[in-house]
Structure 1
Amino acid sequence: MGFSQNRNNNMKLKLKHIPLLLLPFSLNVNAQEIKAELNKEIKRQEKISYILDYPKNTKGNVPLIVFLHGSGERGTNLDLVKAHSPFTYKNLIKEPVAILAPQCPEGTWWDTVTVYNLIKEIQKKYKIDASRIYLTGLSMGGWGTLKLAMEHPEMFAAVASVCAPTDQVMTANIHQFKDLNMKIFHGGMDDIVLPANAFNFYQKLHPVNPTAELVIFPNDNHNSWDSAYSNPQLYEWMLSKKKEK
């Protein structure tokens, strides 16, 4: 009697577990694998404020320097974008150039798609030498500089990043920088964006672009933009470069 009762109990336990064992199989039977493609034109609204310093009384096309500011200049006060920038040292630039400085909205980082489209729009509206477009930026703007250069290396004759944070997307796509004229500036004492950002990026960059230059200002903290932008040789180097057509 005891054996028969135990056997019945065991069978009940086993029967209770059968639906659970069958559940994954029933799910697999009901699932389907779908392979497809999204091919749809998506419109997006782009809005960005900017300052354009355009030389007067110029007859031909002029070079364009695009400057991306740091996080402290975000917002709606456009005059902020001229701080710590090529605007400050315009007297060091020996030929007529246009300087474009967009402003990043508060609480955001650079939308490089919008910046790219802004540059294209400036090219349509003004006499810009397409073979002499230069890109530079500091801190958050240095990150934006490297990101935009990675996405559109065909646009820029020279690129200079200053105290820039770098990321794994940039290093994973390091081949995008292989044909660019580049300078990477950083302060050796930078405790906001550590110099390791520049060292690690350059370590990946140099094998694919041996002419790229890493410049460390050993006594500078995060404000290495002062040393970079106050040097007339930066602008001489930039303006000596032309994009091959």
Structure 2
Amino acid sequence: MRVFLIITFMLQTALLSAQDLKPFKQIEVQITPWHRIPALLKLPDNLKGGKRYPLLICLHGRSIAGTDITKIFRQGVARQMHEGKNIDAVNKVDGKKYEFIVMAPLATSWSLGPEHLDAAITDVLKKYPIDSSRIYITGYSAGGWSVAMAVTDKRTAKRVAAAVNMSPATIDAENLKSFQVTAQNNIHVWYFGGREEPVFLGNCKLYADSTNKYKPGLTKLSIGEHKHCCWEQYYNPSYREDGMNIYEWLLQFKR
């Protein structure tokens, strides 16, 4: 009887954990030859054989880092989807509707550097039906640092089709001098910042200007009346500028 109760409890716990992660499942991704980290993954509901799907990688802020995968639901794309919102989007360029494969990795501390993100992309490309010409990244705060580091890194930039960057933290000095990499790889980036977060808004402007210096028109900047917060209004698929939400905007671009 005791064994039966223990097994029942374990099954109930596993079921509850799976329900808590809806609509995602938990996986592990390789970020070095010796290190794997947990991640949330959402595949399209009705995968079609032979079809490949856009990949959207979602990078969290510093306060989320650690070991509790459920903390990812506090902000960002994963929160929107966990609350039941649908991010499937119509590409305004070709008029087709796209379903995303969504991955939200959990960093042990801070966020993922470009070498780790590059390894994670390589790992999931081997396992899931991803359209390698439509790899998109988005992040906020420390996750915004990760996005900016990625688009200024020669290894990772060549894999990214477009990015959405919200309130990014200050990137490394070497990368601050490398926005020509972003331009050379034709990466469009939509930046979001708040008037009451001067350092982070300043980073948005600096990164956008540094890209446009090499290739004008690659960036878009939206400024809100808020502090270092409030990214949910932009991640919500109902938020639109120029007739598009961020998911529709991303789909315009491919490698």
Deviations 1:2-26 (A, max 9, x none): xxxxxxxxxxxxxxxxxxxxxxxxx
Q: Quickly say closer, same or farther: Cα 1:54–1:214, change in 2 above 3 A.
A: same
Q: Quickly say closer, same or farther: Cα 1:156–1:49, change in 2 above 3 A.
A: same
The amino acid across from 1:45 in the alignment is W
TM-score in terms of structure 2 length = 0.72
Task: Determine the C-alpha separation between the residues in 1 that align with 2:205 and 2:253.
Answer: 25
Q: Quickly say closer, same or farther: Cα 1:109–1:88, change in 2 above 3 A.
A: closer
Q: Say how many residue pairs are matched.
A: 199
Task: Determine the C-alpha separation between the residues in 2 that align with 1:203 and 1:112.
Answer: 21
- Give 1:126's aligned residue: 128
- Structure 1: gaps spanning 5 or more residues: 1-42
Deviations 1:205-239 (A, max 9, x none): 21113122342333121114223212251110112
SS at match of 1:88: helix
Q: Say whether residues 1:55 and 2:59 are aligned partners.
A: no
Task: Determine the C-alpha separation between the residues in 2 that align with 1:118 and 1:74.
Answer: 17
Task: Determine the C-alpha separation between the residues in 2 that align with 1:157 and 1:93.
Answer: 17
Residues 59 and 111 of structure 2 are in contact (CA less than 8 Å); yes or no, is this contact kept in structure 1?
Answer: no
Q: Quickly say closer, same or farther: Cα 1:64–1:109, change in 2 above 3 A.
A: closer
Residues 157 and 180 of structure 1 are in contact (CA less than 8 Å); yes or no, is this contact kept in structure 2?
Answer: yes
166-175 or 144-153: bigger deviation: 166-175
Task: Determine the C-alpha separation between the residues in 2 that align with 1:224 and 1:67.
Answer: 16
| Post-superposition offset of 1:199 | 1.9
- Give 1:145's aligned residue: 147
The amino acid across from 2:196 in the alignment is M
Q: Quickly say closer, same or farther: Cα 1:50–1:92, change in 2 above 3 A.
A: closer
SS at match of 1:51: strand
| Post-superposition offset of 1:98 | 0.7
TM-score in terms of structure 1 length = 0.75
Q: Say whether residues 1:158 and 2:162 are aligned partners.
A: yes
Task: Determine the C-alpha separation between the residues in 2 that align with 1:148 and 1:198.
Answer: 15
Specify the structure having the higher radius of gyration (Cα).
1
Q: Pairwise mapping of residues 31-110 of structure 1 onto structure 2 (< 5 A)?
A: 44-59=33-48, 60-90=51-81, 91-94=86-89, 95-106=98-109, 108-110=110-112
- Give 2:247's aligned residue: 235
- Give 2:197's aligned residue: 190
Task: Determine the C-alpha separation between the residues in 1 that align with 2:137 and 2:196.
Answer: 25
Deviations 1:137-166 (A, max 9, x none): 000000001111222211011111110023
Residues 163 and 224 of structure 1 are in contact (CA less than 8 Å); yes or no, is this contact kept in structure 2?
Answer: no
Task: Determine the C-alpha separation between the residues in 2 that align with 1:197 and 1:79.
Answer: 29
Task: Determine the C-alpha separation between the residues in 2 that align with 1:183 and 1:216.
Answer: 8
151-160 or 208-217: bigger deviation: 208-217
Deviations 1:83-136 (A, max 9, x none): 321123341433321110110104x44233222111111111010011111011
SS at match of 2:221: strand
- Give 1:180's aligned residue: 187
- The structure carrying a bigger strand percent of its residues is 2
| Post-superposition offset of 1:44 | 4.5
- Give 1:213's aligned residue: 219
Task: Determine the C-alpha separation between the residues in 2 that align with 1:209 and 1:164.
Answer: 21
Task: Determine the C-alpha separation between the residues in 1 that align with 2:128 and 2:45.
Answer: 12
- Structure 2: gaps spanning 5 or more residues: 1-31, 90-97
Residues 144 and 169 of structure 2 are in contact (CA less than 8 Å); yes or no, is this contact kept in structure 1?
Answer: yes
The amino acid across from 2:191 in the alignment is I
Q: Give 4+ residue runs of structure 1 displaced > 4 Å after superposition.
A: none
